[in-house]
Amino acid sequence: MQTETLLIIGAGGQLGTELTAELRSVYGSANVIASDIQPPKPEQLEEGPFEQLDAMDAQRLAAIIDQYKVTQVYLLAAILSAKGEQNPKFAWDLNMKSLLNVLDIAKEKKLSRVYWPSSIAVFGPNSPVDNTPQDCVMDPNTVYGISKLAGERWCEYYFHKYNVDVRSLRYPGLIGYKTLPGGGTTDYAVDIFHKALKNETFECFLKEDSYLPMMYMPDAIKATIDLMHAPSEKLSVRSSYNVGAISFSPKEIFEAIKKHQPSFQISYNPDYRQKIADTWPNSVDDSRAREDWGWKPKYLLDGMVEDILENLPVYHS
């Protein structure tokens, strides 16, 4: 079997931090090259190879791929939904240019696999809201959602036209405790734990009954690695798979935390992010992922809350 060498672009981000660590335990540290636009922190240099990389710089990307003889690329760098609305043109440029750079280089250098995350943000106001199907009306109205939908079309195109084995998941809101997220609409469900840890009142930017699909980070990591290890012929979706886990509202996650911390308080002050959340699904139908490569989430709301409340204080002490 060919030894795989992986390049992770955006390794310092919310997903990148945890996925890089897990991939290193699967493939060995030396075979997983971390890269990020930010300079490395000392611990990143200790954990394995690291290269500073702007995902829009195609030349440097090619040089790193050649230097390490990279065979697979995980492109995680992106501007998320809320931040994207503050600078739409830049969000479009970064999200699209980085993907096209990676797809082109995968085609040219015949990389064995590419991973690129999509999102529930590909859905829009006219998509069905409950149990949203894999294929349905998609009319995203955030620049992030538009870039993810366009990206899905490019992935399918490069697969059929150039045989690039690119794989993708439509992540729901990802919830982890190891890093702070940056600029998403679902990120209130991460911030709430940091406020609970300090026992400060949490001011939520969404309404109390605003349901969104969410997933605990260990499930997201498992889904990603399982998809990347699945035999190619099993994959019937070459745009991006719906993957569901938990759906909850701000009130429900607050109450789940309050069971462990009765003095915790919340207030609601919906802002522009509420409009984004209102166009996204409440839950998704992920039967294709379950049938094709055996997707099954492990964590429900209470299990996730318990695990985070137990680990967050230790991790950040």
Active site residues: 144
> Is residue 210 a contact point for ligand AKB (CB under 6 A)?
no
Cβ atoms of 219 and 297 closer than 8 Å: yes
37: CB partners within 8 A, 6+ apart: 10, 52, 53, 54, 55, 77
184 touches ligand AKB (CB under 6 A): yes
CB count, 10 Å around CB of 180? Answer: 11
Please state, in angstroms and rounded to a whole number, the distance separating the CA atoms of residues 110 and 104.
Answer: 10
Alpha-carbon distance of 222 to 216, in angstroms, equals 10
Q: Identify any residues that bridge with 242 across adjacent strands, giving them in sequence order.
A: 170
Task: Look up residue 191 and give its two tokens.
Answer: 């911030």
119 vs 247 by CB, closer to ligand AKB: 119
Q: Which of 20, 35, 95, 119 binds ligand AKB (CB under 6 A)?
A: 119
Should residue 266 be labelled a site residue for ligand AKB when binding is judged by CB under 6 A? no
Name the β-bridge partners of 167.
115
Comparing CB distances to ligand AKB, the nearer of 62 and 129 is: 129
120, 149, 166, 175: which one binds ligand AKB (CB under 6 A): 120
Give the binding range for ligand AKB (CB under 6 A) out of 87-95, 96-104, 117-125, 161-169: 117-125
Contact 204, 188 (CB under 8 A): yes
Site for ligand AKB in 73-92 (CB under 6 A): 80-81
Instruction: Judge whether 94 and 102 are in contact, CB under 8 Å.
Output: no
121 belongs to the binding site for ligand AKB (CB under 6 A): yes
Q: Which stretch binds ligand AKB (CB under 6 A): 25-33, 179-187, 203-211, 304-312?
A: 179-187
CB of 183 to ligand AKB, least distance (A): 7
Angle made by CA atoms 176, 243, 220, in degrees to the nearest 5:
25
- Piece in contact with ligand AKB (CB under 6 A), picked from 30-38, 153-161, 178-186, 262-270: 178-186
Q: Which helix (H) or strand (E) holds 293?
A: helix 287-293
Give the binding range for ligand AKB (CB under 6 A) out of 65-73, 155-163, 180-188, 305-313: 180-188
User: From CA 256, how far away is CA 148, in angstroms rounded?
Assistant: 32
- Contact call for residue 247 and ligand AKB (CB under 6 A): no
| Total residues binding ligand AKB (CB under 6 A) | 11
Q: Which of residues 213-232 bind ligand AKB (CB under 6 A)?
A: none
Which C-beta is closer to ligand AKB: that of 123 or that of 202?
A: 123
* 27 phi, psi to nearest 5 deg: -100, -10
Cβ 165 vs Cβ 154: under 8 Å: no
Give the one residue of 116, 158, 159, 171 binding ligand AKB; rule: CB under 6 A: 171
The answer to whether 132 contacts ligand AKB (rule: CB under 6 A) is no
Chain residues in the site for ligand AKB (CB under 6 A)? 80-81, 119-121, 144, 171, 173, 184-186
